[in-house]
Each structure stands twice: as C-alpha cells, then as structure tokens.
Amino acid sequence: MSDRTIRSDRWPDEEHEAGSAPPRALTREEVQALRARQPSVSVWRVVGVQAGVGVVVAMLAWWITGEPTVGMSALYGAAVAVVPGALMARGMTSRLSSVSPGSSAVSFMLWEVLKIGVSVLMLMLAPELVQPLSWPALLVGLVLCIKVYWLALLWRGH
C-alpha cells in the first residue's frame, strides 16, 4: 500500500465547517465597521478619471508632436474606453439591474456585451471619423484609460 492517505469527498472548508454552527448575521455596527475597512469606489469616479486621463494624454500628444490630429487620435482612443465604460456604468447602476441576484448577473453580462460591441464599433469607425488617424496615439490613449481601472484598486486601499 502507498503512503497516501485517503481523502473524503468534501472540500477542505466543508470538513472544517462540518461541525461548526451556521454563520450568524452581522450587527449594524459590524457592517459599518466592515464598510469602513473596505470602502467602495464609485464607478462614476473611475469613468471621470478615465476621461481626465484621456484629455491629458491628448494634450500631451498634441504638445509633443505639434500635430493636432495626433492629439485627436489619442482623444478618440480615450473615448473608446470612456464611452462604453459610461454606458455600462449607467446600466449597472439602474434599479432594474439590482432587482435580484439573477437579474443582476444577467444584466452584467448584457451590459458587458454591449460595452465590447460599442468598443469594437468605435474602433472600426476610427479611420472614418479621425482623419488622418494615428493608430499609435489612439492605442496609447486607449491603453492608458483602461489602466485607470487598476488605480481604482489602489483607491480602495488594496
């Protein structure tokens, strides 16, 4: 026989919790203390900071290159991140999306698909709307605005 032990069919957490009492409800003070330790960040704040970063990147691109079209390309790249993000934020903060956990999950998936679709459509329309288009500037604006999501984690204190 081998030196291996036979494990049960339960997950490790289930084995530990099998003999323990069910979890109790938190008191109002405990909930407030938990929220104070783990503050949430407004999605509108994130969208606003993305827009601000986009404007700064566009102005820097224009200033560095001296070409207004490069700045417009960077600004359009920022819009490719900001506009779909704002649409999703609007959809996810509506009352309809928070009716129940099931509708909230479905709402999230639908708004995420819409967000991706709008982003792809905006990228496809870029050569028609911004002429002459600078793809490198557009991508820099887009990527820097997307990276703002990582700042939201820092704002939470993690």
Q: Tens of pLDDT along 118-154?
A: 999 999 999 999 999 999 999 999 999 999 988 877 8
Other residues' Cβ atoms within 10 Å of the Cβ of residue 28: 7
pTM of the model: 0.75
pLDDT greater than 80 at residue 29: yes
* Residue 107 pLDDT class (50, 70, 90 cuts): confident
CA 90, 77, 91: angle at the middle one, nearest 5? 10
- Angle, nearest 10°, between helix axes 135-146 and 43-65? 150
| Site of tokens 């996810």 | 92
Q: Which residue has the tokens 């028609």?
A: 128
The 10 Å Cβ neighbour count of residue 148 is 22
